[in-house]
Each structure stands twice: as structure tokens, then as C-alpha cells.
Amino acid sequence: MLPQEIIRTKRDGNELDPADIASFVRGLTDGSVSEGQVAALAMAIFFQGMSRAEAVALTLSMRDSGEVLSWPELDRPVVDKHSTGGVGDNVSLMLAPIAAACGLAVPMISGRGLGHTGGTLDKMESIPGYTAMPDNALFRKVVGSVGCAIIGQTGNLAPADKRFYGIRDVTATVESVPLITASILSKKLAAGLGALVLDVKCGNGAFMDNPERAQELARSLVEVAIGAGMPTSALVTDMNQPLASAAGNAVEVINAADFLTGKARDSRLQEVTLALAAEMLVSGGLAANSDEAFVRALSALEDGSAADHFNRMVAALGGPLDFLADPEKHLQKAPLVAVCTAQREGYVTGYDTRGIGLCVVTLGGGRTRPSDPVDHAVGLTGLLPIGTRVEKDTPIAMVHARTEDQVTMVRAQLRGAVQISEAATAASAVILGRQG
């Protein structure tokens, strides 16, 4: 079928044949389908939606647009996790080595931050010498020898998605649930996973800001992944406050290092990390149930084996051999560290979490366009959990900045993003639901 007829079929609310979807994706990949035609189909899907069968066909076609990895040399289950993105979400840095220490292989292909959300790849690139974009041979070697490798997506994995996403980004069609589903899963299926665990964020710092939409996305991801032959489960987690007490790149790496070594652990961050680890162990067949899996994951954290796997991964990918012994020695530091204080007494009762992420962007630690550079040194630390009692002039965050002008701007943004009230309110649960 001609591209314009495929567009017409979806525009009129009819179901597309898998062969026509595959044909359109081939044209998307080789450039024979124009940008205008891609935009038109994206808009038709945005308004008309897709059936599960259509979403599966789109996902598989996008997976097959490039290289599809397999891991026949590994003698352990291959499982990964994907997060839909948030603020202070450095879970992957702890989760991959915990899962590897428990016996999984975790080839974690991660992305960069965009807008108010942070990117795992940006955090790892703050480690000097770390090779975030290794060749395939090194990637496979590290996964095989260490059990985990956190890297960036190569151009050979699901290239159709890269072009499709770029056009969606400038045509206001990013929010389509079937298109989000196909975008996420095509890359994960191309990574050759045996199973996948998803962390779907929900709240004012998340892409999906209400529970109904978050549950819809989680359900779509799980059903389409299973339809494409990959066992998958999803947790819906709260993003109405930063997950870690730090937001930025190097500062979140230090937070992760403290977590792994036991120096300090944010409680909500620990709950999400261990819950996802338990999902991974059960889906990989290494634990009979979530309770058993939780105990195994916690043990790997407490006995130091997870920290050892992280350190070995960093070293194997070119980073310092002794990174966890003194991470601050190796990471860039902002020239200014300034306190931001509360302007009244009371309790921290809420966050504009997106606003916290935008503070990092103001400092230069995030990007508004994919091509923007990031300053790895800047960010926020000492963010307080909801429910904390503060007095006037109590620190509500430390600002890591390059200039005094940045400090002034970010202090104002922070004070607008942190809600302080006379009466305390309890934070919502951090795990809001499960699919799969």
C-alpha cells in the first residue's frame, strides 16, 4: 500500500495490516517516506490510537529496522529495566550492579536527559574516562565478565525509532501511548533481552502526570511487550517529589556511590530500587517470588557485592579503578556551593518536581535540545523529603553552580518549587501500582 493510503487508513480510524506497517517503517528507515508523511501518520495515530496488534506490529518492525542483539555466550538470564524518566532518578546506577551481583546479565542501554528529566547516560559520562558508547565487542565483553554495562544506544539499534521520535518531537505527537510504547520497546527488544522490567513514573515531575494515564502506559507497555514475545512487568512509581536527595549528574553519581557503599541511602530511592531488583530477579527465574527476591537484592547491597560490581563495571569501561573508594576525588566539582534556605517555618508539603528539574537545566546540567552540552558538575543536593519540619533559614537545598547569577536565579526557582505549609502532610506511597 502507498504511504498516503496507509495514512488515509489510519486517519479514518481503520486498523492497519502488519505488512503495511512494516512497509511504512522500511520507508521511514531508508528515507523513501517523506518527513511530512511520517508526521501525518504520527498525527493520525495520535488521534485514532492503535490496537494492541497494530502496536505489536509497529514495535517489531522498528526493532527489525537495525541490528538485533543476542547473547548466546551468556550462561545467565538477560534482563533489563527502563524508566520513563524523572528527577533525581539515579536508580539504574544501583539497580544494574545489584541485579548483576544476584546472577543476572544486565546490558543496560540508556538515554540522555531532555527537558526537565535527567539521563542515566549523562550521569555515567560525568565519570572521567568512562566509555559510554563502546563498540559492540567491548560492550559484550563487559556484560560477560562483570554482569552489567550501562551504555548509550548505538545508531544500529532501532534506527527507525530515532527518525520517528525526532519528527514526533517537533509535531506535538510525543504523548501518544502506542507511539511511546513502540519507541521504548523497539530498542529493548533489539537489545536481545530475555525479560524486561519497567518503571513508569507518575506525578508532577513525570511525563505522565496523572495515575490513569500512567496506568494506561504501563498496561500498554506490558501487553505489547508480551505480545512481541518478551516477558515484562511494570511498576508505577511516584514522581511528585525528587526520588533522590540530589538532582544533577556528578551529584547523583555521588548519591549512588553513597547508596552502594552504605554511607547514606534515601528511603524512597531504596524502596524503588529494591522493588525493581526483585521484579528483575523473579522475571529472570532467579527467585520464586518477590519476597525471596527482595531478600537476595538487599543482601547483595549490604554485603558489598553490588558495590564491587559497579566498581568493576566502571573500571572495565575505562573509568578509575578505585572509583568507589573516593568518588569525589574523581568527579568534577562546581566552583560555587551555596545554601538555599526556607523563608518560613513549617513542613515541606509538596514539590513542583518539574521545577526542580528545570533548576538543574538553569544551572547548565540539563538540556532543552538533544544537541545541547551538559555541565556535569552542577546540580542540587540536600533536597528534603515531604514531611520534613523546617525552621526559617533551614537549608532546603545546596546549589552547585558556576556563577553567582546562577545561584540567585536558582534560589528563586527553588523557593517557588518547594511548598512549605503550617500543617504536615504525609507523602504518597512511592509504589503506586503494578502491571504484568
Q: How far is CA 3 from the centre of its chain?
A: 33
Tell me the chain's radius of gyration from C-alpha atoms: 22
| Cβ atoms 297, 281 nearer than 8 A | yes
Does 266 qualify as catalytic in the annotation? no
The b-or-e profile of 102-116 (16+ CB within 10 A means b, else e) is bbbbbbbbbbbbbeb
What is the separation of C-alpha 371 from the centre of its chain, rounded to a whole number of angstroms? 19
The catalytically annotated residue of 10, 63, 82, 268 is 82
Contacts of 69 (CB under 8 A, 6+ apart): 107, 157, 190, 191, 192
pLDDT of residue 340: 98
Catalytic residue (one of 10, 63, 76, 81): 81
Is 141 a catalytic site residue? no
- Which of these is catalytic: 168, 268, 376, 411? 168
Q: How many residues does the chain have?
A: 436
Phi and psi at residue 381, in whole multiples of 5°?
A: -135, 170
Gap between the Cα atoms of 366 and 6, Å rounded: 38
What does pLDDT average to over the chain?
95
Closest by CA position to 345, among listed 387, 302, 393 = 393
Give dist(CA 278, CA 99) in Å, integer. 9
Q: Where are the domains of the chain?
A: 3-49, 79-325, 333-421
What pLDDT does residue 211 have?
92
Which three cell numbers mark 365? 546540567
Q: What is the fold of 79-325?
A: Pyrimidine Nucleoside Phosphorylase; Chain A, domain 2 (3.40.1030)
Q: How big is the CA angle at 82 (ends 79 and 85), to the nearest 5 degrees?
A: 165
Higher pLDDT, 73 or 368: 73
Which one of 76, 112, 188, 201 is the catalytic residue? 188
pTM of the model: 0.94
3-state SS string for 101-150: HCCCEEEEEECCCECCECCHHHHHHCCCCCCCCCCHHHHHHHHHHHCEEE
C-alpha span between 381 and 419 (Å, rounded) = 17
The residues with which 83 forms a beta bridge, in sequence order, are 199
349 is catalytic: no
> In CATH, which superfamily holds the domain spanning 3-49?
Transferase, Pyrimidine Nucleoside Phosphorylase; Chain C (1.20.970.10)
Classify domain 333-421 by CATH number.
3.90.1170.30
Confidence of residue 174 (pLDDT cuts 50, 70, 90): confident
* Chain-centroid distance, C-alpha 105: 18
Instruction: With beta carbons less than 8 A apart as the criterion, state whether 388 and 146 touch.
Output: no
> Would you say 130 and 314 are in contact if contact means Cβ atoms under 8 Å apart?
yes
Does residue 330 register a pLDDT over 80? yes
Label residues 154-180 b or e (16+ Cβ within 10 Å = b).
beebbbbbbbbbebbeebebeebbbbb
113 or 375, greater pLDDT: 375
Q: pLDDT value at position 127?
A: 98
Does residue 165 surpass a pLDDT of 90? no
- Please compute the mean of the pLDDT values over residues 392-402 and round it to a whole number: 97
Categorize the per-residue pLDDT at 299 as very low, low, confident or very high, splitting at 50, 70 and 90.
very high
83 is catalytic: yes
Q: Which of 187, 265, 268, 296 is catalytic?
A: 187
- Give catalytic status of residue 333 as yes or no: no
Report the relative pairing of strands 148-152 and 106-110 from DSSP bridges: parallel
Residue 156 above 90 pLDDT? no
- Residues 120, 186, 233, 362: which is the catalytic one? 120
163 is catalytic: no
State the catalytic residue, choosing from 20, 64, 80, 375: 80
**81 has catalytic annotation:** yes
Q: Which of 335, 361, 337 is nearest to 413 (CA)?
A: 361
Whole-angstrom CA distances from 151 to 136, 139, 366 are 11, 8, 18
Q: Is the alpha carbon torsion for 33, 36, 42, 48 positive or negative?
A: negative
**What residues contact 207, with CB distance under 8 A and at least 6 apart?**
84, 85, 117, 175, 201
What is the percent of the chain where pLDDT is above 70? 99
Residue 154 has a pLDDT of 74
Marked catalytic residue, from 61, 65, 83, 362: 83
pLDDT at 8 over 90: yes
How large is the average pLDDT for residues 205-216? 92
pLDDT band at residue 384 under the 50/70/90 scheme: very high
CA trace torsion 110, 111, 113, 114 (10° rounding):
-150
